[in-house]
Structure 1
């Protein structure tokens, strides 16, 4: 059985796969077996890229603005009651003499979590802080000229950085980590840090109380088939010494799923907590996620993956736009803020003059429940699959690629003298292709040769670069749908 080691390898393994394979590459059971950390779903620690070579911008073009949306970094499990549930359940079984030796280790582990982790439910960890520091560092390394002083009327002006965060503490701390890293690289940056309920409409519009749209029979019939393959009994036998006690006292599915989610979340925890677990349980902290066999991890993940897909993906079984609609305010804000940044840049061109501070970046720090539908709404290849057979969904659509911890979308804007503004989109710092046509805004159906000639005549850039006017027209039309 392939094991996860939180101290070594997990982040390297993830990054290696993400960089070696196209973003929409199929993922087989064999690939999942090589990388069992992927079955962590949205708990996967950010797959930090290394040695990426970006496509060179067309001649004469330089970056001048970035629009960004990032999920918060690694965090504690979101529910303190679930930490406590594990401890109470195991403690009760121990009092009845019904725990195996492994079960007693799990009890010690659960006690540490109930004491140390439960009070910090949902909080960002230092692992999460470092994830955002790393993303900010690479943003500055790759596009540092965006943050340099502008020459405005013979004076040097430091461009403005606007940063929004969800009212959730983990998002605010993620924003602070990101901005802190940028300022360590360029102390002159003067950020505007913004968080408040009135901004949640585009930072985090998803409503967890309105999920009925995702419970249609066409989906639940297929989803049930996946969940029915999840068998908690072999795992429970490792923990509990008496099957009759389990039958009478343990909600098997609930215990299995809570244990799994919390165990996979440990990859984002800080070393002091992992050390306390190891000391109390007398086994390494990663021993508990490795109580699940690789096959068990994969089977459960396939059902979990399908849940995310139905909730906010492009599932034809749901065949309703409700999930994607939650991201429309975010996309609208991206378009509006980009237009503002371009207008300010134009005002500062040699042909214009302005006292308004130029805008270097608009940063947004939110949640997976906004970023996932945003990627789908924008029809990014990583999130745009249409799959009716959920047993094969994993071959085309993977939640861990779209919403790992600290997942992020970056739109990098480029300008050149007397030429149209271009945009390149990065998802988790990897270049994306878009379904955006160049210069075609109507329903004309040209032949392939006609389309090619039209693109040449309009000086259409090669992917991953797209004209901003085309992107704005494409997504504006989509928002009106």
Structure 2
């Protein structure tokens, strides 16, 4: 069968340009129509592949820590890597709809090609619904390798006599794709730090620190009149007809036999998911995607509605009372609680090590519905816009920069000196491995009665006392 374009090339273009644009840094402006039309792969929304740093010479230089400071602990949260589409029924629906039309002689030549593609997906992708792909495995392996390379001091273990191996706690959502993401990350970490001791856990009792969101909750806050008024404007710019005309040869047949909205939206989502497919999946056939069924302008119109939906549900959206970000509170609280233990365990020891049973890293593997509200709650630049005119939302807030597959937050802790000579612990935040500027005021801890004010370092470094006090106040 004849197919158009190779998915791996599609993914490579997305990664390279996404990184080169410096999309995780402080400027609030996100994108514009011209840029989106030039890079239509970004319209895959949350299916976008991870923007691996360092591709095509993109700037990933990390700011040097203040004199004398060394990293000793990392608190991490990551979305699972690239996966198959979440619904087997959607794969089957597309194929069955096209097969029925083909039996009636109502497919164009391009429609017949689409039929063969959906047949393959119905047979081979549907049984893998929601599973991590090998692309997803590679994403987490890459992040782990770079973490070990960027912060080697963290993984050197306790210093002195009886030196102990570095201990890492790793927790995953009960979802299989999160567990496999954790396994991929840890396997690569062990390859780079052979003596690392890792505790792996996954269970319902851990979900408070990983993900508490359920889409059934959205009806309680996201279905506002103000949001729907704005969202409806975006949906009016979406036309199903051109794509359907490329596939079906008879418009009357479509009117009588095809739910145009269902077909188009399912096709759009599966189209986006193809970025995460790997060569192994296509074994026995030519790799393919659905680029030939949409124009970039059509993808852009549909994505704007999708982007607005994510914003309303889990973003800092004024039209829904900014309620979505509150689902990051339990995760943020867990991050702060575990960090307190690590800081306490590391106190009074040499800069190069930590107490024997204190983890040098806490790893969490969850979902877009965990990291998206967390990023907004923490007021990270990439996720902190407040927009009421949703036709301009993409100029300030874009889902594919916040929740690409394997999106991750790394909070790196630094210390200097020991005992009476110990200096204040510092932290910096990386989002998708790019340093972030935070809204944490210098001296915030003093204002809250938690400690004496001291000279604060320049961004991206912040005093842990200020960081902790500021975010505990937000997480209440």
Alignment TM-score, normalising by the size of structure 1: 0.91
Q: Contact (CA 8 Å) 2:157, 2:354: kept in 1 or not?
A: no
CA-CA distance at 1:158 after TM superposition:
1.0
CA-CA distance at 1:17 after TM superposition:
3.4
Matches of residues 164-203 of structure 1 in structure 2 within 5 Å?
164-203=171-210
How far apart in 1 are the matches of 2:315 and 2:402? 10
Tell me whether 1:73 sits opposite 2:81 in the alignment.
yes
Matches of residues 400-419 of structure 1 in structure 2 within 5 Å?
400-417=400-417, 418-419=422-423
1:134 to 122, 134, 142: 142
Deviations 1:103-160 (A, max 9, x none): 11111111111110101100001110000000000001100121113214x1211121
Which blocks of at least 5 consecutive residues in structure 1 are unaligned? 279-283, 445-454
How far apart in 1 are the matches of 2:80 and 2:92? 24
How far apart in 2 are the matches of 1:437 and 1:101? 61
Partner of 1:447: none
Q: Contact (CA 8 Å) 2:212, 2:327: kept in 1 or not?
A: yes
CA-CA distance at 1:458 after TM superposition:
2.2
Q: Contact (CA 8 Å) 1:264, 1:289: kept in 2 or not?
A: no
SS in 2 for 1:123: coil
How far apart in 2 are the matches of 1:376 and 1:104? 44
Tell me whether 1:342 sits opposite 2:361 in the alignment.
no
Q: Contact (CA 8 Å) 1:4, 1:10: kept in 2 or not?
A: no
CA-CA distance at 1:184 after TM superposition:
0.7
How far apart in 2 are the matches of 1:171 and 1:130? 14
Q: Kindly tell me: are residues 290 and 421 of structure 1, through their superposed partners in 2, closer, same or farther at Cα, counting changes over 3 Å? A: farther
Partner of 1:206: 213
Tell me whether 1:478 sits opposite 2:437 in the alignment.
no
Q: What is the total number of aligned residue pairs between the two structures? A: 457
SS in 2 for 1:163: strand
Q: Contact (CA 8 Å) 1:49, 1:429: kept in 2 or not?
A: yes
1:234 to 230, 238, 242: 242
Partner of 2:398: 398
Partner of 2:363: 363
Partner of 1:109: 117
1:32 to 33, 36, 39: 36
CA-CA distance at 1:4 after TM superposition:
6.8
How far apart in 2 are the matches of 1:19 and 1:239? 36
How far apart in 2 are the matches of 1:443 and 1:435? 15
CA RMSD, 1 decimal:
2.0
CA-CA distance at 1:267 after TM superposition:
1.2
Partner of 2:444: 440
Partner of 1:285: 288
How far apart in 1 are the matches of 2:273 and 2:210? 24
SS in 2 for 1:161: strand
1:273 to 273, 276, 281: 281
Partner of 1:158: 165
Q: Kindly tell me: are residues 114 and 22 of structure 1, through their superposed partners in 2, closer, same or farther at Cα, counting changes over 3 Å? A: closer
How far apart in 2 are the matches of 1:353 and 1:313? 37
CA-CA distance at 1:5 after TM superposition:
4.6
CA-CA distance at 1:201 after TM superposition:
1.8
Partner of 2:426: 422
CA-CA distance at 1:8 after TM superposition:
2.3
Tell me whether 1:149 sits opposite 2:157 in the alignment.
yes
Tell me whether 1:381 sits opposite 2:388 in the alignment.
no
How far apart in 1 are the matches of 2:40 and 2:367? 24
How far apart in 1 are the matches of 2:250 and 2:23? 47
How far apart in 2 are the matches of 1:10 and 1:307? 24
SS in 2 for 1:271: coil
